[in-house]
Amino acid sequence: MDTIYTSGGEVYHAAVFRILFIGDIVGRPGRRAVREILPVLQEKYEIDFVIANGENSAHGAGHTVKTSNEIFDSGVHAITSGDHLWDNREVIQLLKNEPRFFRPLNYPSGVTGNGAGIVLAPNGIKVGIINLQGRTFMKPLENPFHAGMEAATRLRKEVQVVFVDFHAEATAEKICMGRFLDGHVSAVVGTHTHVQTADESIFPKGTAYLSDAGFTGPHEGVIGREADQAIHRFLTAESKRLEIAARDVRLQGALVDVDETTGKALKIQRISEPVVSFEEQIRRAEAAKESVRVSRIQDLINPTLVF
């Protein structure tokens, strides 16, 4: 799409390529949010390409072929992952057979799957995708900075638009990656903490940045899990599987506008859209019925006179 942007007081037209990145999808509620909200967002924002981190999509831990296909069928064009990559054994099928599925690039050489590659958008634009995993307070993988720069340099020989999902714990490590890749990629957006940050910005050389996109799933609990169970773990140190929460389901992420001719980011905007629950739909329907009933009663009490 063509959009008017301002820079330094000057107004110019840019051929804009709009990306929606969806933060960590958690379990069935998260997949439901993608299925129900994504079509609305696509129509509202005229989105060209959708990337989603799906590492918690299979009951909160890892990926399966079924859940990944459900996410693809909902309108997502590429899925990234993180430290829960190996929680389901069948992920190996995705790594071997699905070119739209990405694992962290900085695993040791020889590990199955792709950590960087190109996916074709429906409008014909080639999108470079890089999936990286941090090392601070996380498993010690290879250096993501070296891997990220090498991949960015390689991809930019073929494409202009390059998006990085940096799955990391430490905010400082994420910011350093954004600064390090500034001007080499279109966007660096963090995942993993499940808490959406408010530091979205465009760095000086044209890279959009956000420390964490948040998560897509139930927000009433503790980062997607049942609150009572999470609290119990902290009180007792018992390591039990935490069940997925159910209420206050939201789709969180970021919209990034990229100049498709230069690959530079023009705008980044946080997204946090609620799913209307079945109970809320009933409440609204009943309220609408009550409104009609009251209106009819008022018409009987105060009939409109026609002369």
Catalytic sites, residue numbers: 84
The closest of 97, 100, 66 to 81, measured between CA atoms, is 100
Contacts for 253 with CB less than 8 Å, ≥ 6 apart: 20, 21, 22, 23, 52, 213, 214, 216, 270, 271
Distance of CA 84 to the CA centre of its chain: 16
Collapsing DSSP states into helix, strand and coil, what is residue 75?
coil
Angle (nearest 5°) at CA 161 between 43 and 154: 150
Contacts for 55 with CB less than 8 Å, ≥ 6 apart: 24, 62, 63, 80, 81, 82, 83, 84, 85, 167, 191
Listed in sequence order, the DSSP H helices in 169-277 are: 171-180, 227-236
Which conformational region is residue 289 in: left (phi greater than 0), alpha (psi within -120 to 50 degrees), or beta? alpha
